[in-house]
Homo-oligomer: A and B are copies of this chain.
């Protein structure tokens, strides 16, 4: 399956600006992108990075991961850029399906993506925590995305409007996009790739404090 991975190359992960420097945000975003591309390939997908500006993918994710990954540049906002992909791709691909997988799904595994790719439905959605649309398979040429706001609700409505069936995939790994400091806990606890290694090397670890739910803390002793 053709899998498009939108990637904000210039100012990634702005909501982590209180936790990371801009250089760290870029490095961490690159690590997550590399993990997502690797997981997509292991799940049998053919990934294309949908970047908002020209990027040197090899520099960002390494030569091994970058091999066989295409880059498509579109400087528009996320929704028009993805809709252009959908207009081109669905009905032009051999299996008449295209997937869109966000680049910050740092704990996505080949298994979770395989479940997404094989799920029945004209539109298959992996909801993000908080009502986003973290990953998507589109088999109906009339479906279009609108990532603004609570996109899960909008995508249910858009699918209904064009008569497309919707399947929602129940996956914590695909629900866990990494936007805020609290999300780093999931990467530390469930990650297996470069993003988790980067966090550990940068001194982060889960902190339980008195709360039932773990946060993260950064070592200050080095």
Do A186 and B129 have beta carbons less than 8 Å apart?
yes
Shortest CB-to-CB span from A54 to chain B, Å, is 25
Q: A26 in the interface, Cβ–Cβ < 8 Å? A: no
Instruction: Give the chain B neighbours of A72 by CB distance below 8 A.
Output: none
Instruction: Give the chain B neighbours of A189 by CB distance below 8 A.
Output: 127, 131, 150, 152-153
Contact with B along A166-193 (1 / 0, CB 8 A): 0000111111100110100110011000
Instruction: Count residues on chain A whose CB falls below 8 Å from chain B CBs.
Output: 34
Contact with B along A87-125 (1 / 0, CB 8 A): 000000000000000000000010110000000000000
Instruction: Give the chain B neighbours of A15 by CB distance below 8 A.
Output: 212
Q: A206 in the interface, Cβ–Cβ < 8 Å? A: yes
Do B190 and A127 have beta carbons less than 8 Å apart?
yes
Cα A130 to Cα B209 with chains together (Å) = 12
Instruction: Give the chain B neighbours of A180 by CB distance below 8 A.
Output: 213
Find A129's partner among B109, B112, B172, B174 (CB 8 Å cutoff): B172
Instruction: Give the chain B neighbours of A200 by CB distance below 8 A.
Output: none
Do A128 and B171 have beta carbons less than 8 Å apart?
no
